[in-house]
Structure 1
Amino acid sequence: MQERLVDVAIIGSGSAGLGALAQVRAAGRSFVLINGGQPGTTCARIGCMPSKVMIQIAEEYYRRTHFGQFGIDGHDALSLDIPEALAHMQGLRDGFVSGVISRSTANLPPDVFIQEPARLLEPTLIEAGGQRFRARALVIATGSTPLIPAHWRQFGDQVISTDQVFELPDLPGRMAIIGLGTIGLELGQSLARMGVEITGFDQIEQVSGIADPEVNACAIELMRREFVLHLGAPAEIEPDGQALRVTAGGHSVVVDKVLCSIGRLPMVEGLGLEALGLPLNARGVPPFDPHSMQVGDLPVFLAGDVTGERQVLHEAGDEGRIAGYNAAHVDEPPQRFQRKTPLYINFCDPNIIAVGARFNEIDRGRSAVGEARFAAVGRARVMGQNRGLIRVYGERDSGRLLGCEMIGPRGEHLAHLLAWSIERGATVGELLRMPFYHPVIEGALKTALLDLHGKVAGHCPGPLVESALLEAG
């Protein structure tokens, strides 16, 4: 079979693959983009965007439960047309997907956008759609796929993945969520607020990956106000008439459907990564440098969810750009780029965030913790959302802010403020000399920083913690 020569081959046209493509095109390199799945990104089709629409629908409907305290009558008469709500979500989702496609692959000619599965024959020899491509460099950005244990697949469409939940035309009356990481917790709360009888299961005593035990305990307590949680024991499924029975640690419930959200695996099946000649880890992924995305010393680069590591959109985009840049300049030593401060947001209500170093990553002997509860925060009380806890971590000797974990209102905005501060190496004292308006949710952060300030060094000069002296002259 004849081989077609290209500078760069990119496998996968999601967020990471498109990020790589932008760099390859900017460098003027020839390329082929190969995509064996549906066009569009995980975020737009089955991830960030449809889940946020469902969360928004659930939040808007749930607000009726608080109308009475504000003197708003008639809230008991409100109802939710679930098929119409799901159709609204699916319509927005389709718009997001078509927008991505129109801005990226829609105008690519078929000889450079191959919509067929790819398979490696050699590290830079790829077969797809009955063609072979010899590339000077390769970017692998095939994404991830939801994990459903093989013995649960016997239940057919009664056990669904997070990829499938957004295709439902209606919702069942009873549902179990197995796996309470970010997406499991978000969907569990949203579905419960939309009227589904939800029972959540996770084999560990933890939700949303929260490492801080105090924040985790607070999150569990708040989520249990809205739906049943069974934690600390693995779940098993068995048939129960036309329904399913889910059992874990002595707890048992009969449901109509199970949503399996126990994680996502790198999408490498059938890709032939054995052709790289390198050892593969348990998930089938070769070793790579996270700063250059290079696989071993090969002209091959990974990017995005396929790495099995930072599976969020902004990281996938960064990795795609890094991989694409190095692939486009493969004749030069690969550039190693600084990775951004880790930033994770769970959009359940209240938001759960993790920024910078997690609680289990800090050196407790060299670090200190400051905290504040939202119960007394004026703005949160006005909003009727005064629940949650923020914990901030700082280095004792320098006063440098290291990280934060939190469950609290509007955490998505605090998360960015904290990430930008940590990225710039800000100290607790420097942050306290920034303006804090009143009343705002950021008041909780100020209280936590004040608590931390007394436990760390690196204080700013002057008699007042929150105000700097004018320079003389």
Structure 2
Amino acid sequence: MQERSVDVAIIGAGTAGLNAMSQARKAGKSFVLINGGEPGTTCARVGCMPSKAMIQVAEDYHRRTHLGRYGIDGHEGLSLDVPEALEHVQEMRDTFVDRVLGSSTDDMPEELFLQDYARFIEPTLIEVGEQRIRAAAVVIAAGSRPLVPEPWQAFGERLLTTDTLFELEDLPSSIAVIGLGTIGLELGQSLHRLGVAVEGFDQLETIAGIRDPEVNRAAIELMGKEFALHLGQAATIEEDGDGLRVQAGEHQARVDAVLCSIGRVPNLDGLGLEQLGVPLDARGLPAFDRHSMQVGELPVFIAGDVTAERPVLHEAGDEGRIAGFNAVQAASGAEPLRFQRRTPLFINFSDPNICAVGARFDALDPETTAIGEIKMAPVGRALIMGRNRGVIRVYAAKRTGRVLGAELIAPRGENLAHLLSWSIQQGMTVEQMLRMPFYHPVIEEALQGALNDLNRKLEVERDGPLTELALLGDGDSGASR
């Protein structure tokens, strides 16, 4: 069997793998990129981009239900051509995939881009098809795939995942969404708004990964007004003629199809990670340092969705760059470096957006943490938009005033979450955030209201300049104007 040597071998050509490759290329190191399965990132092919294209179509069509209040006639006559809408989603998906491939692997020579599956023989020896690659360092960025329990696989095309949903030419009349995390909730709401009869199931009492009980309560109330939510009990599926019957506790629903969104599993099958000689956890993953992405003391680094830690694109990109940089370090005989990670940021593109930033509610110390809150009902801009629904909750350290995190369900929450994440990343206090300008009328005034509420609950010694406007109190923040 042919064997050749490179400085860095990268397993996986998704977001993490491509970012690792850029580090090797920038350093002038020899490398090989290995990819089993379809090329193109999870985000572009089956994740962020096709789902957001579907969400946009659903939101635009759903908007017709509100037009009557503005005196716009004829809105009831609007109709949706579902096959045409799905074709649009697929065209958008293909555009994003083509962009990724066109800027990465399309023009790579065969000796650099191997389209086959990899298997470890030794920590730095990999078998790929009919050849072996001896690398000074290796990056594992093999990605993940939807989790489907083995018994459910027998339901064939009636059991959908994100890998198959965006390939449909038409939508089923009814569907059960099992798993109401980010993916299930986003797609469940979109399918409902596209005219599908939807019922949602989750064995947890929470949705969208929410940990703050007040935000969860608001989210369940709002989402439950669009489609039925059945929480707290595991769902089972069985055949029912040409359809499927889903049951959770006492509730049963007969549907044409099921969208399985109960999670994703790392693509570890066949990789031979046992050959690394390090302990593997129950999922088959080796322990690694999340600041260097190094596996044990080996010249092996792991990155992206395969780590099952933060399965979002910007985190996969960061991990790929860290892993790639340190693979270059290892190939050069240098020690790996540890990097500070960004403030955690999670956004669910449901309507309203559901977001989590920084420290999560269940990790807070109630004795040392203050919580500020504002409900969206009186917020002027949200009221004008007809979207004054939800709640914002912001957390800070009582004694220092430093902002720790937030959870929220709010219109344009994606923008508020970014402001919060940037502020937390900079180590800002509540008072420092309140010193920033807030225009009127904007959704950001709701954040100002939550910060004012939080500021009143702090135990900080006020020794700032007396000329600071924030010290005059909140007055009328404009939230209800």
Q: 2:429 aligns with which of 427, 430, 439?
A: 427
Following TM superposition, by how much is the alpha carbon of 1:279 offset from its aligned partner in structure 2, in angstroms? Answer: 1.3
Residue 257 (1) aligns with residue 257 (2) = yes
Distance in 2, Cα, partners of 1:402 & 1:161: 35
- Write out aligned runs for 1:68-217 (5 A): 68-217=68-217
Q: Deviations over 1:230-284 (max 9, x none)?
A: 0000000011111100000110000000000000011110111111011111211
Residue 466 (1) aligns with residue 469 (2) = yes
Following TM superposition, by how much is the alpha carbon of 1:466 offset from its aligned partner in structure 2, in angstroms? Answer: 3.3
Gaps of 5+ in 2: 473-481
Q: Partner of 1:223 in structure 2?
A: 223
Q: Helix, strand or coil for the counterpart of 1:23?
A: helix
Q: In the alignment, residue 423 of structure 1 is paired with which amino acid?
A: Q
Q: Partner of 2:279 in structure 1?
A: 279
Q: Deviations over 1:341-393 (max 9, x none)?
A: 00000000000000000111111111010000110000000000000000000
Q: Helix, strand or coil for the counterpart of 2:287?
A: coil
Distance in 2, Cα, partners of 1:465 & 1:45: 50
Following TM superposition, by how much is the alpha carbon of 1:455 offset from its aligned partner in structure 2, in angstroms? Answer: 1.2
Q: Helix, strand or coil for the counterpart of 1:412?
A: helix
Following TM superposition, by how much is the alpha carbon of 1:460 offset from its aligned partner in structure 2, in angstroms? Answer: 5.8
Q: 2:389 aligns with which of 383, 387, 390?
A: 387
Seen in structure 2, the aligned counterparts of structure 1 residues 248 and 123 have a Cα distance that, compared at 3 Å, is same
Q: In the alignment, residue 300 of structure 2 is paired with which amino acid?
A: V
Q: 1:362 aligns with which of 361, 364, 379?
A: 364
Q: Are the aligned partners of 2:2 and 2:130 in contact in 1 as well (CA < 8 Å)?
A: no
Q: Partner of 2:412 in structure 1?
A: 410
Following TM superposition, by how much is the alpha carbon of 1:461 offset from its aligned partner in structure 2, in angstroms? Answer: 1.9
Distance in 1, Cα, partners of 2:308 & 2:242: 36
Following TM superposition, by how much is the alpha carbon of 1:120 offset from its aligned partner in structure 2, in angstroms? Answer: 0.7
Q: Helix, strand or coil for the counterpart of 1:97?
A: helix
Q: Are the aligned partners of 2:372 and 2:453 in contact in 1 as well (CA < 8 Å)?
A: yes
Q: Are the aligned partners of 1:429 and 1:465 in contact in 2 as well (CA < 8 Å)?
A: no
Seen in structure 2, the aligned counterparts of structure 1 residues 465 and 221 have a Cα distance that, compared at 3 Å, is farther
- TM-score under structure 1 length normalisation: 0.98
Distance in 2, Cα, partners of 1:236 & 1:460: 60
Distance in 2, Cα, partners of 1:101 & 1:460: 55
Seen in structure 2, the aligned counterparts of structure 1 residues 435 and 460 have a Cα distance that, compared at 3 Å, is farther
Number of residues of Structure 1 aligned to a counterpart in Structure 2: 469
Following TM superposition, by how much is the alpha carbon of 1:37 offset from its aligned partner in structure 2, in angstroms? Answer: 1.4
Q: Partner of 2:267 in structure 1?
A: 267
Q: Partner of 1:15 in structure 2?
A: 15
Q: In the alignment, residue 51 of structure 2 is paired with which amino acid?
A: S
Structure 1 window deviating more from structure 2 (152-161 vs 334-343): it is 152-161
Q: Are the aligned partners of 1:429 and 1:460 in contact in 2 as well (CA < 8 Å)?
A: no
Distance in 1, Cα, partners of 2:19 & 2:463: 41
Distance in 2, Cα, partners of 1:131 & 1:460: 68
Distance in 2, Cα, partners of 1:444 & 1:457: 23
Following TM superposition, by how much is the alpha carbon of 1:457 offset from its aligned partner in structure 2, in angstroms? Answer: 3.3
- TM-score under structure 2 length normalisation: 0.96
Distance in 2, Cα, partners of 1:90 & 1:147: 23
Distance in 1, Cα, partners of 2:54 & 2:468: 44
Q: Are the aligned partners of 2:431 and 2:470 in contact in 1 as well (CA < 8 Å)?
A: no
Distance in 1, Cα, partners of 2:344 & 2:238: 39
Distance in 1, Cα, partners of 2:466 & 2:71: 47
Q: Helix, strand or coil for the counterpart of 2:25?
A: helix
Q: In the alignment, residue 71 of structure 1 is paired with which amino acid?
A: G
Following TM superposition, by how much is the alpha carbon of 1:329 offset from its aligned partner in structure 2, in angstroms? Answer: 1.2
Q: 2:402 aligns with which of 394, 400, 403?
A: 400
Distance in 1, Cα, partners of 2:208 & 2:61: 23
Distance in 2, Cα, partners of 1:464 & 1:61: 50
Distance in 2, Cα, partners of 1:95 & 1:51: 14
After TM superposition, which residue ranges in structure 1, 4 or more long, deviate above 3 angstroms?
A: 457-460, 462-469
Distance in 2, Cα, partners of 1:265 & 1:361: 25
Seen in structure 2, the aligned counterparts of structure 1 residues 220 and 114 have a Cα distance that, compared at 3 Å, is same
Distance in 2, Cα, partners of 1:461 & 1:204: 45
- Write out aligned runs for 1:19-58 (5 A): 19-58=19-58
Q: Please give the root-mean-square deviation of Cα atoms over the aligned residues, in Å.
A: 1.1
Q: Helix, strand or coil for the counterpart of 1:163?
A: helix
Q: In the alignment, residue 395 of structure 2 is paired with which amino acid?
A: Y
Percent identity (aligned): 64
Distance in 2, Cα, partners of 1:163 & 1:389: 33
Q: Partner of 2:476 in structure 1?
A: none
